[in-house]
Each structure stands twice: as C-alpha cells, then as structure tokens.
C-alpha cells in the first residue's frame, strides 16, 4: 500500500512538472513566434534567455548605473541635463547597438523600442482603441489609479476621456486663472516671510514641496470645489503610494531582483492595499459631503456624480468606484506632474539668470501690476519659450507606452498582438540628429518661432504624449505654469543653493531626486 501511494505521489509530481514544462514551452514558443515576425521586418535586439528574457542584463545594467561611483550626483556647479543613461541604462545600451528601433524581452513579454521620428508620427496618427496602455504596467498601477482614465483601455477609456476632457478645454481653463492666482498667494507670502525672518536679502527654500501644495490646491479648487486643506491627506497618501511603487526600473519591468521577490511582493501588496483603502475612504467622504451640501458648480466632481447617476446599468458599488477612481486619477495627474515641471523650470531659470531678466521685462510690459490675466498670458512669448525648453529637457513623463491588443500597422511596421511599444521621451528630446549639436543645452531661443521650427522633426517634441491618448490636461498644465511663474518672477529672483544636488529620479515621473533647493531673493 505504501509503495502504491509513493508511486502515485511521484506520478503526480512528474505530471505536474511535465505540465509546467509544456506550458513554459508553449509560452516561450509564442514569444519566439512574435520575435520572428519582428526579425522578418529587419528589427533586431538582444537575444533573450529562457523565461527571464533580457531581465538579468537589465538588472545588471541598472545596478551598475545606481552604484555611487557611476551615478550622476552633481553639485550645482555642474548640471548634466542628459540623465537617460543613468535612469534607463539598458535602453541606452541597446540603442547604441541596434539603433532607434529594436526589440527586447521581459520574461516572455516582447517589447518594441521606437525612437524614430517618423514612426512616432505614425503612432500619433494611430487612433484605434486596440492600441492602449500596456497591461503589465497598468496592473501595477491599479492601487494608485483604479480603473480611472489614466489606466483604462478600450471603450471604458473612451467614455471617461469624453467626460473628463470637456473640463480642460481652453475656454474652461481660461476661467480658472483667478483661482490659480488665489491658490498661489499662501506660497508667495510664505517665501516673503522666510526672507524677512532670515533678516537677509534671501532665504533658502526647497521649492518642490511648496509647488506641490500649490498645484494640489489648484486641482482641488477647480475640479472638486474644495481647497487643498480638505484634500491634503489624500495627496499625502497618494504621494506615499507613488514612492512605494516606483523603485527606479523596478516599477516598469520588475528589476528589483529575483531573490525574495515573493515575500517582497506580499509586503508591498499589504502596504498598497492599506493605503488604497484609506485613499478611497477619504475621497468618498469628500464626495458624500459634496452630495449633502449640493452645488450649482459644474466642476469635474459634479460631472462625475451626474455621469454615475445617469447610467442605470451600473450598480451602486460600480458607480462609487467610477467616481473614486477618476478622482484619484485627477488628484495624482493634475498636481504631481505640474509641480514637477515647475520645479525643473525654476532650477533652469536659477542656472540662467538672463532668462529671469528677460521674462521680468516681458511681465513689466504685459502684466504691469504683477498679476497675469487670461488675456495677457498669450503675450508672454519668452516665458512660453522657457517652459517649452524646460519640458524638452525635463518632461515629467518618461515614456509613451502602448500595447497592441490586436495586430497593428504603424507606418510600414506591423506590430504583432501582445507587443508593447515604448518611446523614451527624454532621449527623443535630446537626439542631436533632431535638435542639433546643442541638444543637451538649455536654449529657449530654439522655440522662438514655435515648435514647428525648433527642430528637424516637430513630431519628436512630445512632452504631453502622442496620439489619441495625448494628455488631456495639457492646456491646464501650461496655463498653470505660466500663471505661477509670472507671479513668482514679478516678486522674486532665484539662484541655486549650494546644497542643491542634481539627481533626476524616476518615480513614475522624472522628478528631482533630492528636491530643488533655491535661494530666493526679493526684487
């Protein structure tokens, strides 16, 4: 009897192992079939290892780039604007070998790196809903974004975009200028007080935290009808989630190492789950309070409430999730990226005081009171040039990422179903063949005649993404940047603090790793 049980046990083990081996061979065979389709089109790439693909080499290159002896940690005396080899060394390594278009694997998932301007233009014109956000990445983003507009695909995304985009049309954004000015006043007063209390001509400030608070207040007021103080805990917890989820390359491709990954994943899941529940509870409290108070305001919150109530096919739980998820998306995207863009712009202005002077002269002409208006903002040409150049060198979003949910034709390139397409925006914005030999230099004058004349291929300038998933908050972000810069440069001048450390970091967006420490001087 014992022998029979032992034989049966071993038979079960062998059967299970055989099934696993078959499944692995089948998955690997499908990956190889996809790679063969790409090779037939002349697309090459690094040879993958079985099951892990190119992950081991990606992990090795990332570890080398992160080592203290090789990582870029510059003082304020020298700021290197080209940080792509530090943050994404594997992309740079393969680009040098295979050119601007190549293929690579993460596990059994096949990817296509595309940094060729004509193909980026073709991606821009690809409107099919079968070319959406990569499933692997959106699954990792689920605790932070739910199934809101930033993560959704297909018809769900199209429905949400139609609903939300109306709130960010330029005619609506122009009406938000007054609220933006109001939101900036506490920050400006705080900086003036810091200078007065120091008893000196200047004070040192880490501007990132203050700009994040300002931007959060703006998005709270214009989209949800309440001030930052009521949503402060939401922003704080979303920021905690963002930091926990984004460990350099690990967020994108799971480069945190293979040993102990299961236990690490379990701990992360527990932490994310707790934060996710807390954020959703806080947002729903704000929604419930809004419903009790009622409002005649046609802001985003009201649009979400009306959309959820009008869809009878959606139950109460799904209706609640729809509202909460989209609130999380707008809270995160609406304040984090704009605050980071403003921080980088101030850092660049501090490095180049002649552009502060040029903008101040422009403001004296078009905003003599120091207060911008919706009508005066289009006249601020030099400020626009500076913002465009800052977004070229430091675009908050690092990638345009898509997955082909069916076979997709992009120009002459056939992207097989299941392949993820990646465009590395900072590299595209620094290509000397597109921008010239000074591609890594801060030269706002390159935009003096607009984007169309700034470089050889205008489609290579994509700080807000490309195609039908172009950032719907583009108008909102640009107007907000102009307003806050106008207010700041009407009152202050900026220089880099000796404590500033230039260390761009990828935390879902490209942000200053150690903050932006500036010396602020009253004018």
Task: Please give, one letter per residue, the 3-state secondary structure of 299-355.
Answer: CHHHHHHHHHHHCCCCCHHHHHHHHHHHHHHHHHHHHHHHHHHHHHHHHHHHHCHHH
CB-CB contact of 431 with 121 (8 Å): no
Q: Which of 101, 6, 114 is nearest to 459 (CA)?
A: 114
Distance CA 318, CA 159 (A): 15
Cβ-proximal residues to 435 (8 Å cutoff; 6+ apart), any chain: 392, 429, 446, 454, 455, 456, 460
Distance CA 271, CA 240 (A): 10
The mean per-residue pLDDT over the stretch 459-487 comes to 91
pLDDT score of 469? 84
Of the two residues 98 and 260, the one the predictor is more confident about is 98
Structure confidence by residue, pLDDT tens digits, 291-345? 777 666 667 777 777 777 666 555 566 677 888 888 888 888 877 889 999 999 9
Residue 255 has pLDDT above 80, yes or no: no
pLDDT score of 23? 53
Distance CA 317, CA 303 (A): 18
pLDDT score of 182? 94
Q: pLDDT-derived band of residue 104, with 50, 70 and 90 as boundaries?
A: very high
Q: In the predicted model, what is the mean pLDDT of the chain?
A: 84
Domains defined along the chain, listed by start: 29-522 (1.10.630.10)
Residue 379 has pLDDT above 60, yes or no: yes
pLDDT score of 8? 59
* β 501-502/74-75 pair status: antiparallel
Q: pLDDT-derived band of residue 290, with 50, 70 and 90 as boundaries?
A: confident
Structure confidence by residue, pLDDT tens digits, 157-210? 888 888 888 888 898 899 999 999 999 999 999 999 999 887 888 899 999 999
Of the two residues 481 and 242, the one the predictor is more confident about is 481
Tell me if residue 512 falls in helix, strand or coil.
strand
Distance CA 64, CA 174 (A): 47
Structure confidence by residue, pLDDT tens digits, 416-429? 999 999 999 999 99
pLDDT score of 3? 60
Per cent of the chain over pLDDT 90 is 48
Phi and psi at 12, nearest 5°, equal: -65, -45
Structure confidence by residue, pLDDT tens digits, 16-71? 655 555 455 555 677 888 999 999 999 999 999 888 899 999 989 988 887 765 44
For the chain, what is the total number of helices (H) and then of strands (E)? 20, 14
Distance CA 127, CA 417 (A): 16
Residue 521 has pLDDT above 90, yes or no: yes
Distance CA 507, CA 502 (A): 15
The mean per-residue pLDDT over the stretch 514-522 comes to 95
Tell me if residue 422 falls in helix, strand or coil.
strand
pLDDT score of 263? 44
Distance CA 478, CA 428 (A): 21
Which residue stretches of 113-165 are H helix?
117-124, 135-145, 154-165
pLDDT score of 276? 83
Structure confidence by residue, pLDDT tens digits, 107-161? 889 999 999 999 999 988 888 899 999 988 888 888 888 888 888 889 888 888 8
């Amino acid at each position: 009897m014992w022998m029979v049980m032992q034989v049966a046990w071993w038979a079960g083990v062998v059967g299970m192992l055989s099934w696993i081996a078959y499944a692995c061979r089948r998955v690997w065979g499908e990956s190889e079939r996809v790679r063969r389709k790409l090779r037939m089109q002349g697309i090459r790439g690094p040879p993958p290892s079985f099951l892990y693909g190119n992950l081991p080499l990606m992990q090795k290159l990332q570890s080398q780039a992160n080592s203290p002896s090789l990582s870029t940690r510059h003082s304020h005396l020298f700021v290197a604007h080209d940080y792509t080899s530090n943050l994404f060394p594997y992309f740079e390594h393969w680009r040098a070998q295979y050119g601007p278009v190549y293929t690579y694997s993460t596990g059994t998932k096949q990817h296509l790196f595309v940094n060729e301007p004509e193909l980026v233009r073709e991606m821009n014109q690809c409107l099919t809903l079968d070319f959406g956000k990569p499933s692997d990445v959106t699954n990792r983003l689920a605790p932070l974004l739910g199934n809101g507009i930033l993560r959704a695909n297909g018809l769900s995304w199209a429905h949400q975009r139609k609903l939300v985009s109306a709130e960010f049309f330029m005619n609506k954004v122009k009406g938000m200028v007054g609220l933006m000015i109001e939101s900036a006043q506490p920050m400006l007063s705080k900086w003036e007080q810091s200078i007065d209390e120091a008893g000196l001509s200047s004070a040192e400030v880490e501007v990132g935290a203050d700009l994040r608070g300002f931007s959060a207040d703006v998005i709270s007021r214009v989209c949800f009808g309440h001030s930052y103080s009521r949503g402060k805990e939401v922003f704080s917890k979303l920021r905690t989630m963002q930091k926990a989820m984004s460990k350099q390359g690990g967020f994108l491709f799971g480069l945190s190492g293979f040993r102990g990954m299961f236990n690490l994943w379990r701990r992360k899941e527990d932490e994310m789950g707790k934060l996710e529940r807390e954020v959703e509870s806080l947002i729903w409290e704000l929604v419930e309070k809004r419903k009790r108070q009622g409002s005649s305001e046609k802001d985003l919150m009201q649009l979400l409430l009306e959309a959820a109530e009008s869809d009878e096919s959606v139950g109460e739980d799904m209706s609640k999730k729809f509202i909460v998820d989209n609130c999380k998306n707008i809270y995160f995207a609406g304040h984090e990226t704009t605050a980071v863009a403003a921080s980088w712009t101030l850092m660049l202005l501090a490095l180049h005081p002649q552009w502060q002077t040029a903008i101040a002269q422009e403001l004296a002409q078009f905003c003599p009171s120091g207060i911008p208006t919706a009508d005066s903002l289009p006249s601020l040409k030099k400020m626009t040039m500076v913002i465009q150049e800052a977004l070229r060198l430091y675009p908050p979003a690092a990638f345009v990422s898509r997955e082909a949910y069916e076979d997709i034709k992009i120009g002459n390139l056939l992207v097989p179903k299941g392949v993820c397409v990646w465009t590395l925006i900072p590299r595209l914005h620094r290509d000397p063949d597109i921008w010239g030999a000074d591609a890594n230099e801060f030269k706002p004058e390159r935009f003096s005649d607009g984007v169309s004349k700034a470089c050889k291929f205008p489609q290579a300038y994509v700080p807000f993404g490309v195609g039908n998933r172009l950032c719907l908050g583009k108008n909102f972000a640009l107007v907000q940047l102009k307003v806050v810069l106008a207010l700041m440069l009407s009152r202050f001048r900026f220089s880099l603090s000796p404590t500033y450390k230039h260390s761009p970091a990828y935390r879902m967006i490209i942000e200053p790793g150690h903050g932006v420490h500036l010396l602020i001087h009253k004018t």
